[in-house]
Amino acid sequence: MTSQPLITALMSIYNSAPLVVDSIHSVLNQSVDDLELLVVDDGSTDTTVDVVRSIADSRIRLLMLPINVGVGAALNFGLSIARGLYLAKVDADDINHRERFSHQLAALTAHPEWGLVKGSVEYFTEDRTVSRTARYQWLKTVKEAELNTVDSPCAIAQTLPDWCCIAHNTVMARTQVIHHYGYPPWRMWEDYALFYRMNQDGVMMGMADEANVRFRVSDSSTTGSGVHQLKWVSSIYALKRRRLQNFIGSSDKICIIGGGQLAMGLMKNLNADGIAVQHFLEWKDGNFYCLESPFGLSTDGSSLANLKIIVACQPVRQKVCSALEHQGLRRNSDYFIFA
Domain identity same for 129 and 255: no
For residue 85, CA distances in Å to 8, 57, 123, 177, 180 come to 7, 21, 29, 10, 14
For residue 194, CA distances in Å to 160, 179, 205 come to 11, 11, 12
Report the chain's C-alpha Rg in angstroms.
Answer: 21
Q: How many domains does the chain have?
A: 2
The answer to whether 75 and 191 have CB atoms below 8 angstroms apart is no
Burial code (b: 16+ CB inside 10 Å, e: under 16) for 162-201 equals: bbbbbbbbbbbbbbebbeebbbbebbbbbbbbbbbbbbee
Domain identity same for 148 and 93: yes
Give the amino acid at 148: N
Domain identity same for 53 and 189: yes
Asked if residue 226 has pLDDT above 60, the reply is: no
Q: Report the range of poorest mean pLDDT among 11-25, 115-129, 273-287, 290-304.
A: 290-304
Q: Percent of the chain having pLDDT more than 70?
A: 93
Domain identity same for 158 and 279: no
What pLDDT was estimated at residue 210?
A: 92
Asked if residue 283 has pLDDT above 50, the reply is: yes
Q: Are strands 308-311 and 335-337 parallel, antiparallel or unpaired?
A: parallel
What pLDDT was estimated at residue 231?
A: 80
What pLDDT was estimated at residue 260?
A: 85
**For residue 256, what is the domain's CATH number?**
3.40.50
Domain identity same for 187 and 308: no
Domain identity same for 134 and 185: yes
What pLDDT was estimated at residue 292?
A: 45
What pLDDT was estimated at residue 2?
A: 55
* Strand order, beta sheet including 287-290: 287-290, 279-284, 254-257, 308-311, 335-337
For residue 71, CA distances in Å to 91, 188, 252, 274, 336 come to 11, 7, 38, 32, 29
For residue 122, CA distances in Å to 207, 253, 322 come to 15, 41, 24
Domain boundary among 198, 216, 234: 216
pLDDT average, residue stretch 284-295: 69
Report the chain's mean pLDDT, rounded to a whole number. Answer: 91
What pLDDT was estimated at residue 305?
A: 78
Q: Would 124 be classed as within a structural domain?
A: yes
Domain boundary among 216, 248, 267: 216
Q: Would 90 be classed as within a structural domain?
A: yes
Domain identity same for 168 and 300: no
Domain identity same for 124 and 205: yes
Cα–chain center distance at 237: 15
Domain identity same for 240 and 198: no
Q: Which residues are paired to 335 by β-bridges?
A: 309, 331
Element at 205 (helix H, strand E): strand 204-216
Using DSSP's 3-state secondary structure scheme, residue 125 falls into: coil
* Angle 265-266-272 from CA coordinates, rounded to 5°: 90
Q: Where are the alpha helices (DSSP H) in 123-260?
A: 128-131, 134-138, 144-149, 153-159, 175-181, 190-200, 226-248
pLDDT tens digits, one per residue of 16-74: 998 999 999 999 999 999 999 999 999 999 999 999 999 999 999 999 999 999 999 99
Q: Where are the alpha helices (DSSP H) in the chain?
A: 20-28, 48-53, 71-81, 100-110, 128-131, 134-138, 144-149, 153-159, 175-181, 190-200, 226-248, 261-272, 317-326
What pLDDT was estimated at residue 284?
A: 84
Domain identity same for 278 and 180: no
Q: Are strands 172-174 and 86-89 parallel, antiparallel or unpaired?
A: antiparallel
What pLDDT was estimated at residue 187?
A: 87
What pLDDT was estimated at residue 297?
A: 44
Asked if residue 141 has pLDDT above 90, the reply is: yes
Domain identity same for 195 and 128: yes
Range of the domain at 232: 226-337
Q: Would 2 be classed as within a structural domain?
A: no
Domain boundary among 159, 193, 216: 216
What pLDDT was estimated at residue 169?
A: 97
Q: Would 1 be classed as within a structural domain?
A: no
What pLDDT was estimated at residue 302?
A: 47
Domain identity same for 102 and 178: yes
What pLDDT was estimated at residue 119?
A: 98
| Angular region, 117: left φ>0, alpha ψ -120 to 50, beta rest | beta
Q: Report the range of poorest mean pLDDT among 205-214, 250-259, 282-291, 298-307.
A: 298-307
Q: Whole-prediction pTM value?
A: 0.91
Cα–chain center distance at 24: 21
pLDDT tens digits, one per residue of 83-108: 999 999 999 999 999 999 999 999 99
